[in-house]
Amino acid sequence: MARKQKGKRMNKAQAVERLNDAIGAHGAWKLKLRVAMSTGASEINPDKACRDDKCPFGRWIHGDEIDAMTKQGKPYQVVRRLHAEFHQTAANVLRHAISAQRPQAEHIFAGEFTERSEKLVRALAKWKGELL
């Protein structure tokens, strides 16, 4: 694991890779939630799903690999906020899906979850574009 040095800037190539991975991983959530809604079950615990600092991207964005200047910037702030909202909404869909409340889960999935997911992916892509 790389050690953070004071004054060191974030490695742009690694950041682009993390952002690409996040776009793919968050797209995969749609399938996980659809399966949970159709089966009424999930291997993912909603209380863990709501934690935006536990997924690989969340550990990176909350970790110390990103320098202080980047963390003060708008792209980081927007992505961090949208990522947290995404996890909260995904957990909400899961809670309803595994509690035999499929119509409510589908409603949240089709509305709030899809909107937040699309906003997050756009923000990730925009940040990535600014790094290239």
State the DSSP code for 45. Answer: -
- pLDDT, tens digit, 9 for 90 and up, residues 56-87: 999 999 999 999 999 999 999 999 999 999 99
Of all residues in the chain, the percent with pLDDT exceeding 70 is 93
> Is the distance from CB of 39 to CB of 105 less than 8 angstroms?
no
CATH of domain 12-131: 1.20.120.30
Q: Distance between CA atoms of 91 and 58, rounded to whole angstroms?
A: 15
Confidence class for position 9, pLDDT limits 50, 70, 90:
low
Residue 22 is which amino acid? A
State the DSSP code for 108. Answer: H
pTM: 0.89
Buried b (16+ CB within 10 A) or exposed e, 9-37: ebeeeebeebbeebbeebeebeebbeebb
